[in-house]
Structure 1
Amino acid sequence: MASPNGSFFTTIITRNVCRDIRRQILLCRSLSSASSSEASASVEEQLSMPVNLSEDYGDSNKWDDLKTRIFSLRMPKRSATNVLERWVGEGRKIDISDLRSISKELRQSQRFKHALEISEWMVSHDEFEITDSDFAVRVDLMNKVFGIDAAERYFEALPSDIKTRETYTAILHCYAGSRLVDKAEALYNRMKEAKLDLTAVTYNELMTLYMSLGQLEKVPQVIEEMKSQNVALDLFTYHLWISSFAAALKIDEVQRILQEMSSCARSDASWKRYVELVNIYLASGHLVNSTQASLVESEKSISQREWITYDLLIILYGGLGNKDKLDQVWRSLRMTKQKMIGRNYASVISSYLLLDHLKEVREIIGQWKQSAATDFDIHICNRLKKAFTEIGMSEKAEALEAILSEQRCA
């Protein structure tokens, strides 16, 4: 889940509250109907399953840090809790910042069951000061390991003072991921009634949900709500707003938003790159306004709306300078096995080119030329060169020209 923005209200959990929450967690586990194989064992088995230390991480003397021991658990059924207890039993101390760091890496590695065990261990020990963010992470982990019903029960069972913006947004994230639009909207109304100090993150979750359901008309409504509540729009907010209009081929609206972004006092280097990339995309992709109620479908199952969403996601990560995510989305786009068009190549070439990753630009142009499904279009490349020149980046245009010459593109 996206990390909630803003400061966190630190809550010191008393012994009785910890005991109550632990019971609630166990109840959620026992009642959960999640399909995960990790959830199939009983609560007792998951909490106290013995670990074969020699099998999991060999002689413990070889391991001198907690993270290595936990990451050496090769099977999800092995207990991270046992590793923590053994560590403490050896007279070693555990810092909560270390637990948070290990949990984050486990989540990034999709080892959610072990991350959940660490979260449980944290809240069951009184010496740790647990923050709203810790509980928000736990809500998300409950959803990933045991399913949305368990996450919902856990959230509802939390004490009222722990139901803050962070934990509310966490369960909203779960609803959005499960496309439960009615529950998401009802929860948002509860958040407003509770007079929580909401940030762009909450509204972004709603807009992401509407985009996933194709309810494009609801995105501008959320933007208006944000502005009426004086909630600052972040880059991802603008991205969703632009994507909703681009997917509907309302290009005039896209250009109006780009002008607003350019004049925004909060804009930074990432915003500037994003605006430049969208402008280049519009110039090179030949997107035009459409008065049709529905978009033209491509030859197969993916719609023009979905293609544009892929393109703009590539542009978002290009604007953020996040090459790893850019690589990931490009791979996903190619794995759709749909017939790509020149506009798709234009979005990824311009993103890599703006970030000076010329090796990738060469590879993509080579792939495009060799594609049996999509004819290489030199005219799109020429429009890209022109667009870069018009925004004052003639060196990018020259780099692209040199690559085209190397590849003997006519």
Structure 2
Amino acid sequence: MHCQISNPIGLQLPPYFFSFCNITHLQPINTRTSIVSSASISQVHNYGTVDFERKPPVQWNHLYKRISLSGLGSGEVLEEWMMQGRKISKWELRRISKELRKFRRFYLALQVYEWMISKGEKFTLSSSDIAIQLDLVAKVHGMSSAEDIFVKLSDFQKNERTYGAILHVYSQSKEREKAETIFEKMKKESLITNALPFNEMMNLYMSLGEYNKVDSIVQEMKDNATPFDIYSYHIWICTCGAMMDVEKMERVLEEMTQDKNVNPNWTTHSTLATLYIKLGLLEKAEHHLKEVEQKLTGRDRHPYNFLISLYGKIGDKEGIYRIWNLYKSSFQSIPNSSYYALICSLVKVGDVEGAEEFYKEWEAIKVKYDPRITNFLMASYVRGGLLKKAEELFERASRNGGTANPSTWEILAEGYTRDREIGKALHCLNEAASVKRFRRWAPKPVNVEAVMKVCEETGDVENVEQFVELMRSLKCLNAGTYKSLVKTYAKAGKSVNDVILSMEKDEIAIDEEMEMLLNELRERV
């Protein structure tokens, strides 16, 4: 849902921090207004892309739910809807696509646009629609597919919106040269009317760690008298934080507060708090957390979640409970994501009993099972040497209808490996690999190393061979795995000739270290 940036100091940033670069979430705004005049995060320039014009509410949500839940493609559901004699407007289709994008159902959202295109002149796509389509194609099929669509656009269709969309695609893909070419083209054609293209380039340079170029973009904006929006300041501040330049970061904040056209919002202060925490300046972080608290409303859940997480990071248990109580008094229902944030933070501050109580509360009220919550508590037990409690929690979740995901099984495998029960660990890893919805899953390298190390130390040839076979099936075999296999064979006094043949079959090169190891073993024999 948000653009990804490189994170030199491990920043945890608010999810809407970079929402300017996801055109799928942008709201309509008067493009004649060149700067953000509200603290609302959604009011951002968007190259003029408009998801839907303002009209009286309509009953679009029934069709949206049918698409979302049917398990069929959007096109099939829409065809069925039309076959039943029901009408649907372009406004409703845009609204459905917007909602699908909101929940990261990008493939279904793209299918809505593809269905519209298949109907010819009945649903003529505007440049706003094409811009959104480009973004969706890049998310679903990759950058090159979006490029193919862009190059086929007519000159009339290549405007501020579609150029902005392909610039966003390049920025997200970290294609610096291509992004720079489009950016220069937009300047040459006078297609830059607001801060957003500059923001895209700043974000790109920051993601590449080219912080001096962020400063160059800032200066260019000032030279051109391009008004900054709130995201321009946010990226600039975050760049200063990544450079660990606190003094400059605070000068940018001061400049932001002096800008009468920009209102610092909760995201501004939570970003600053995050940066100060990473820099070890906890008093400054607390100041900005208090600023976030002053901006809490009963309309937006996100700041509550971030406050809970950030108070957990600075070890403030009282702050966690204070925000949670405010949260519960402001909303009738609490989603899984908020319980996850709460339980994670309580574990981090050492309040495991509190986390367990809230886990029970969540169990009683949850609408849908969220394995992340169980997994985090299980992991805290495993890493605290409480494998039995992790097993009990796993069994309890299973009895209550919870479905384990690969991470669930891997956490248990980690616990068994710590207890040197490799047979049980392998069973769990095989279970993880068998979960069909996660076909690209692979065990964490640290867990692979741990299993192999125990096998090496004990000369457990049977289990190490099973583990190597699992890694082969996951296409995760490498030279390191084979080195551990050779050492295990050596411990058990078994010939390594079969290992050499397997390496050749798996196309694993025998490097100098492996060659020395094999020669040493041959000499022993």
Q: TM-score, normalised by structure 2?
A: 0.46
Q: Where does 1:71-220 land on structure 2 (aligned, <5 Å)? A: 71-74=68-71, 78-124=72-118, 125-220=120-215
Q: What is the CA–CA distance in structure 2 between the aligned matches of 1:111 and 1:275, rounded to whole Å? A: 30
- Partner in structure 1 of residue 520 of structure 2: none
Q: What is the CA–CA distance in structure 2 between the aligned matches of 1:179 and 1:329, rounded to whole Å? A: 31
- Partner in structure 1 of residue 231 of structure 2: 236
**Contact 1:140/1:170, CA 8 A, preserved across alignment:** yes
**Contact 1:261/1:275, CA 8 A, preserved across alignment:** no
Deviation at 1:241, TM superposition (A): 0.4
Deviation at 1:151, TM superposition (A): 0.4
Q: What is the CA–CA distance in structure 1 between the aligned matches of 2:253 and 2:324, rounded to whole Å? A: 18
Q: What is the CA–CA distance in structure 1 between the aligned matches of 2:200 and 2:167, rounded to whole Å? A: 7
Q: Where does 1:371-386 land on structure 2 (aligned, <5 Å)? A: none
Deviation at 1:104, TM superposition (A): 1.4
**Contact 2:202/2:213, CA 8 A, preserved across alignment:** yes
> Alpha-carbon deviations, 1:139-168, whole Å to 9, x = none?
011112211111001011111111122211
**Contact 1:139/1:171, CA 8 A, preserved across alignment:** yes
> Alpha-carbon deviations, 1:153-190, whole Å to 9, x = none?
10111111111222112111211221111111111111
- Partner in structure 1 of residue 272 of structure 2: 278
Secondary structure of the corresponding residue to residue 122 of structure 2: coil
Q: CA RMSD in A?
A: 4.4
- Which of residues 297, 302, 319 is equivalent to 1:324? 302
> Alpha-carbon deviations, 1:352-384, whole Å to 9, x = none?
969955998987774343189xxxxxxxxxxxx
Go from structure 1 to structure 2 and tell me whether the alpha carbon gap of 1:65 and 1:255 turns closer, same or farther (over 3 Å shift).
Answer: closer
Q: Where does 1:232-311 land on structure 2 (aligned, <5 Å)? A: 232-268=227-263, 270=265, 274=268, 278=272, 282=276, 287=281
Q: What is the CA–CA distance in structure 2 between the aligned matches of 1:222 and 1:210, rounded to whole Å? A: 9
**AA paired with 1:209?**
L
**Contact 1:80/1:117, CA 8 A, preserved across alignment:** yes
Q: What is the CA–CA distance in structure 2 between the aligned matches of 1:201 and 1:318, rounded to whole Å? A: 28
Deviation at 1:274, TM superposition (A): 3.0
Go from structure 1 to structure 2 and tell me whether the alpha carbon gap of 1:82 and 1:278 turns closer, same or farther (over 3 Å shift).
Answer: closer
- Partner in structure 1 of residue 347 of structure 2: 367
**Contact 1:262/1:275, CA 8 A, preserved across alignment:** no
**Contact 1:140/1:151, CA 8 A, preserved across alignment:** yes
> Alpha-carbon deviations, 1:60-113, whole Å to 9, x = none?
xxx994223322331xxx332232223223222111111011111222333222
> Alpha-carbon deviations, 1:306-340, whole Å to 9, x = none?
xx9xxx99x99997975437737987x99xxxxx9
Go from structure 1 to structure 2 and tell me whether the alpha carbon gap of 1:318 and 1:138 turns closer, same or farther (over 3 Å shift).
Answer: farther
User: Any stretches of 5+ residues in structure 2 without a counterpart?
Assistant: 1-21, 32-47, 51-59, 330-337, 353-525
Deviation at 1:6, TM superposition (A): 4.6
Go from structure 1 to structure 2 and tell me whether the alpha carbon gap of 1:168 and 1:325 turns closer, same or farther (over 3 Å shift).
Answer: farther
Q: TM-score, normalised by structure 1?
A: 0.57
Q: What is the CA–CA distance in structure 2 between the aligned matches of 1:129 and 1:82, rounded to whole Å? A: 20
Q: What is the CA–CA distance in structure 1 between the aligned matches of 2:218 and 2:114, rounded to whole Å? A: 37
**Contact 1:132/1:166, CA 8 A, preserved across alignment:** yes
**Contact 1:277/1:319, CA 8 A, preserved across alignment:** no
Deviation at 1:237, TM superposition (A): 1.1
- Which of residues 50, 54, 67 is equivalent to 2:64? 67
> Alpha-carbon deviations, 1:263-310, whole Å to 9, x = none?
111133627x8359738975996559xxxxxxxxxxxxxxxxxxx9xx
Q: What is the CA–CA distance in structure 2 between the aligned matches of 1:237 and 1:320, rounded to whole Å? A: 23
Secondary structure of the corresponding residue to residue 66 of structure 1: helix
Go from structure 1 to structure 2 and tell me whether the alpha carbon gap of 1:330 and 1:365 turns closer, same or farther (over 3 Å shift).
Answer: closer
**AA paired with 1:369?**
V
Q: What is the CA–CA distance in structure 1 between the aligned matches of 2:223 and 2:238, rounded to whole Å? A: 21
**AA paired with 1:165?**
E
**Contact 1:274/1:318, CA 8 A, preserved across alignment:** no
**Paired positions, count:** 284
**AA paired with 2:98?**
K
Secondary structure of the corresponding residue to residue 161 of structure 1: coil
Go from structure 1 to structure 2 and tell me whether the alpha carbon gap of 1:262 and 1:158 turns closer, same or farther (over 3 Å shift).
Answer: same
Go from structure 1 to structure 2 and tell me whether the alpha carbon gap of 1:187 and 1:91 turns closer, same or farther (over 3 Å shift).
Answer: same
> Alpha-carbon deviations, 1:106-138, whole Å to 9, x = none?
223332222112112223432335332211110
**Contact 1:270/1:320, CA 8 A, preserved across alignment:** no
Q: What is the CA–CA distance in structure 1 between the aligned matches of 2:82 and 2:274, rounded to whole Å? A: 57
Q: Which has the higher contact order (CA 8 A, sep 6+)?
A: 1
User: Any stretches of 5+ residues in structure 1 without a counterpart?
Assistant: 11-62, 289-307, 335-339, 373-410
**Contact 2:304/2:327, CA 8 A, preserved across alignment:** no
> Alpha-carbon deviations, 1:233-265, whole Å to 9, x = none?
111110110111122122221121121111111
**AA paired with 2:139?**
K
